[in-house]
Amino acid sequence: MGKIKLLQGNEACAEGALYAGCTFFGGYPITPSTEVAEYMAKRLPQIGGAFLQMEDEIAAMAAVIGGALAGKKALTATSGPGFSLKQENIGFAALTEIPCVIVNVMRGGPSTGVPTGPGQSDIMQCRWGTHGDHPVICLTPAYVQEIFSETVRAFNLAEKYRTPVIIAFDEIVGHMRERIEIPDPGVLPVQDRTKPTCPPSEYLPYDESKGDVPPMANFFEGYRYHVTGLNHGSDGFPVNASPRIHTDELRLLRKVESNRADIVRFEEYLLEDAEVAVFAYGISGRSAKTAVEAARKAGIKAGLFRPLTIWPFPEAQVAALSARVKGIVVPELSLGQIILEVDRCAKGRCRIEGIYRVDGDPINPAQILAKVKEAN
């Protein structure tokens, strides 16, 4: 029997991290994500973990990668402007294959925008924010309980695939309080990175012959090796020659692409016989669920596709959905970002209708219902 708690989404995120074995937090205060740091600041010293409030977002991301390389499961949490600042080092973690988890509690705006309001307009930045081609896993929970469980999953995916994992939820879910159950230890699976078993003299940190995810040694465990943000060979040392760079970057993408079945998670609600679908995540997904129920009451066969993994994008699922509905409605707290992905996968097989809002308030179910009726 787990523990029942009334928690805010941000607090549930911190609890999920602790459940997953996170013992390192590096952060910087920023609304609306600060409660994650505050919760970790209280809890980590109690369990012997390390809490660092760094001098800026960049250093916080750097410290998290350093902590992870030294063997810890490490977390940072931020919001829009801070997420922008972290991007270079997120790319460093992707290329050097150091597992870590980045929470982005999305607020509105470019620039300072609307710090206290919800947004979903960082979703393309989650995918493409750092420069260069790189693998990305990004999860989009919508309920406090789900923030807890998806944070556990984020750490598991980071460790399993040696890659940074982003959790992106909006300010409303981050600050909303809901009843959640924190399961007893052992109920949810917790995964640790695969370490090398070979003698140190034979260890190659980026040995593609060991599969797409080579074992990772922590610093100070006898496997002295080199980590660099330059493109590198299987031994970790810089390489600036073809074809290694090309083949290694393909391997990085393959870690995610060839494991979609494991990584991509979603909720399908009333979709079996649906003629109109709503594609929505986060707080927009919650409004959409209410709208779909209202549509059913009004005699419209509506259903909801709610991605919990937004990156990699659930391409096959959206393609299949587009082949059997008349239209897909895409409500999002941006001026039209994730709708581009839905449209790309639908390939003209059905109508795609967007609902956009960036004024600091959520999209309400009535707005979605109206669009569902239009699309029917």
Partner 1 sequence: MAFQYDRYIRGGKLPHIWCPGCTYGIVFKSLLRVVDTLAISKDDIALVSGIGCASRLPGYVDFNTLHTTHGRALGFATGIKMARPDKHVMVVSGDGDATAIGGNHFIHACRRNIDITVLVFNNYIYGMTGGQYSPTTPSGHMASTMPYGNVDPSFNIPELAKGAGASFVARGTAYHAAGLDKLLIEAIRHKGLSVVEIINACPTTHGRRNKFKSPTDMLLWMKDTFMPVAAFEKLPPEKTAGKFPIGVLYRKEGLPEYCETYYGLVERLKRQREGRV
DSSP bridge pairs for 182:
3
Q: Does 72 bind partner 1 (CB under 8 A)?
A: yes
Binder among 29, 110, 132, 238 for partner 1 (CB under 8 A): 238
Q: Which is nearer to partner 1, 221 or 257 (CB)?
A: 221
Binding residue for partner 1, selected from 29, 55, 257, 344, defined by CB under 8 A: 55
According to the binding rule CB under 8 A, does residue 85 interact with partner 1?
Answer: no
Displacement of CA 205 from its chain's centroid (Å): 25
Counting contacts by CB under 8 A, is residue 328 touching partner 1? no
50 binds partner 1 (CB under 8 A): yes
Q: How far apart are CA 146 and CA 155, in angstroms?
A: 14
132 binding partner 1? (CB under 8 A): no
Contact between 129 and partner 1 by CB under 8 A: the answer reads no
Q: Are 26 and 74 in contact (CB under 8 A)?
A: yes
Q: Which of 58, 188, 190, 204 binds partner 1 (CB under 8 A)?
A: 58
Considering the rule CB under 8 A, would residue 347 count as an interface residue with partner 1? no
Asked whether the beta carbons of 133 and 249 are under 8 A apart, the reply is: yes
**CA angle, 92 then 94 then 97, to 5°:** 100
Binding of residue 245 to partner 1 (CB under 8 A)? no
From the list 53-61, 161-169, 245-253, 326-334, the region that binds partner 1 by CB under 8 A is: 53-61
Find the binding residues for partner 1 in span 90-119 (CB under 8 A). 92
- Nearest-angstrom CA–CA distance, 238 and 228: 7
Residue 118: φ, ψ to 5° = -80, 155
Whole-number minimum distance, CB 260 to partner 1, in Å? 30
Provide, rounded to whole angstroms, the least separation between the CB of residue 58 and partner 1.
Answer: 6
62 binds partner 1 (CB under 8 A): yes
65-73, 185-193, 263-271, 297-305 -> range binding partner 1 (CB under 8 A): 65-73
Q: Which of 205-209's residues contact partners 24+ apart within 8 Å by CB, and which partners?
A: 205/97, 205/234, 205/235, 205/236, 206/97, 206/232, 206/233, 206/234, 206/235, 206/236, 206/248, 207/234, 208/234, 208/247, 208/248, 208/251, 209/234
Residues 286-305 that bind partner 1 (CB under 8 A): none
The reply on whether position 376 binds partner 1 by CB under 8 A is no
Bridge partner residues of 177 (DSSP)? 8
